[in-house]
Structure 1
Amino acid sequence: MENTYKENDFSTILKGRRSVRNYDPTVKISEEEMMQIINDTVTAPSSINMQPWRFVVVASEEGKKTLEPLVQFNKLQNETSAAMIVIFGDLDNFAQAEKIYGTAVEQNLMPKEVKDRQLAMFAPVMEQMTLAEKQQTVLIDGSLAAMNLMLTARAYGYDTNPIGGFDRKNITEALELDPEQYYPIMIVSIGKAQEAGYPSYRLPAEDITFWR
């Protein structure tokens, strides 16, 4: 499927993004288009390119009923959005290292000697990481993917809302994933706005930037 971008102007995509809570419930996103959105999303950077993000697209009525008691004050997004995209971090992401780096070699994106050197260097580091360090890493990488997802959605003509208020303790098992491996990061609702999101004030650069 080719990209079906509705908007290509970067300024419009970036500055026109709003957090939308009420969506047109009649608007659905096909699985094919959703997969294209996710394929664009994962062009985000990640630590040593391990791409630890994992996505659960909750679009069915049954899936949304599962989410309903877990999203607390964000039930309107769950009820009206085309989908709730739950982003997890895979704490065992280094298991994909051979596939990621090996495919890069096959596609002439990386010399084999670089692959071998990097994997030999990174493997012992990853083995020694604490759980807290792994969680921090996937939280950063998953947040980069979430922002990419929201901007990508805008390019496809959809609206989004990042959601941090949900039951992190129970959501992983509720979506039938292993809580020992998958760390919940964020939910991004996606669909067509029924009500426009509010514009908001941003502190200017001179208030938040330090020069040394």
Structure 2
Amino acid sequence: MTTSVSTKSLTELINERHSVRKYDANYKIPKEEINDIVKEATKAPSSSNLQPWRFIVIEDQEVKKELRTIANNQEQVETASAVIAVIGDKEMYKSVEKVYRSAFEAGYLDEASMSRLIENTNKTYPFASEEILKNIASFDAGLVSMQLMLIAKDRGYDTVPMGGFSKEQFAKKFDLPERFFPVVLIAIGKAAAPAHHTTRLPLDDVLIDYI
């Protein structure tokens, strides 16, 4: 059985979402619901709609125990219902035919536009530096990650994003091909204790100017 979606506004969800590090280790989110959350999260925008994100969902307790050692012994890795690893794809342009043909078949593009977009992508992305491609994938992975956490909150779950882990050890452990690289780990589950609330810098400190 899946958890029903709340009727809270986006503003309420943003204000209520906090990074939770204490989880009920006995609570398990159904696989179907995690699939739904990930699928909905992928509605996030991405550069040229190339969607340079992939996901590994880690539920097995023994694997989570191993992952905890890779993730600086962070308790939530082992106690959360699952850990969703968000993976970046440096060769996102290899999906271009599938992406734009799908849009064409859905009636969102005419054939000429589809062909032009595919051609333009193939003229640019494959010739970009690895650094640029990695930056694009990392930025887009951040967008899908935030969306995923808000969707999870809307369904009554708690999350915490974790960047503090060995990217090299993770890639080796999960045998990632060269084109893929780990960006962030997201623990998801039911809180066993309230999150520590935080403050934010005042608007005057972050809003530089109106021009």
Normalization by structure 2: what TM-score? 0.95
Looking at structure 1, the residues matched to 34 and 7 of structure 2 have their Cα atoms a distance apart, in angstroms, of 16
Deviation at residue 26 of structure 1 after TM alignment: 1.2
CA contact (8 A) 1:70 1:167 kept: yes
Looking at structure 2, the residues matched to 205 and 15 of structure 1 have their Cα atoms a distance apart, in angstroms, of 16
Looking at structure 2, the residues matched to 121 and 4 of structure 1 have their Cα atoms a distance apart, in angstroms, of 42
Alignment of 1:99-118 (within 5 A): 99-118=98-117
SS of 2:168's partner is coil
CA contact (8 A) 2:45 2:143 kept: yes
CA contact (8 A) 1:58 1:83 kept: yes
Amino acid at match of 1:136: N
CA contact (8 A) 1:7 1:13 kept: no
CA contact (8 A) 1:7 1:156 kept: no
Residue matched to 2:187: 189
Residue matched to 2:134: 135
Deviations 1:69-91 (A, max 9, x none): 201042x1012100011111011
SS of 1:72's partner is coil
Q: Across the two proteins, how many residue pairs are aligned to each other? A: 210
Deviation at residue 65 of structure 1 after TM alignment: 2.7
RMSD: 1.6
SS of 1:169's partner is helix
Deviation at residue 118 of structure 1 after TM alignment: 1.1
CA contact (8 A) 2:158 2:188 kept: yes
CA contact (8 A) 1:21 1:161 kept: yes
SS of 1:199's partner is coil
CA contact (8 A) 2:19 2:160 kept: yes
Residue matched to 2:44: 44
Looking at structure 2, the residues matched to 137 and 30 of structure 1 have their Cα atoms a distance apart, in angstroms, of 32
Q: Percent identity?
A: 31
Deviation at residue 2 of structure 1 after TM alignment: 8.7
Looking at structure 1, the residues matched to 188 and 36 of structure 2 have their Cα atoms a distance apart, in angstroms, of 14
Deviation at residue 161 of structure 1 after TM alignment: 0.3
CA contact (8 A) 1:6 1:155 kept: yes
Change (3 A) 1:23 1:2: closer
Structure 1 gaps of 5+ residues are none
Deviation at residue 68 of structure 1 after TM alignment: 2.2
Q: Using the TM superposition, name which of 169-178 and 38-47 deviates more.
A: 169-178
Looking at structure 1, the residues matched to 105 and 2 of structure 2 have their Cα atoms a distance apart, in angstroms, of 24
SS of 2:143's partner is helix
Normalization by structure 1: what TM-score? 0.94
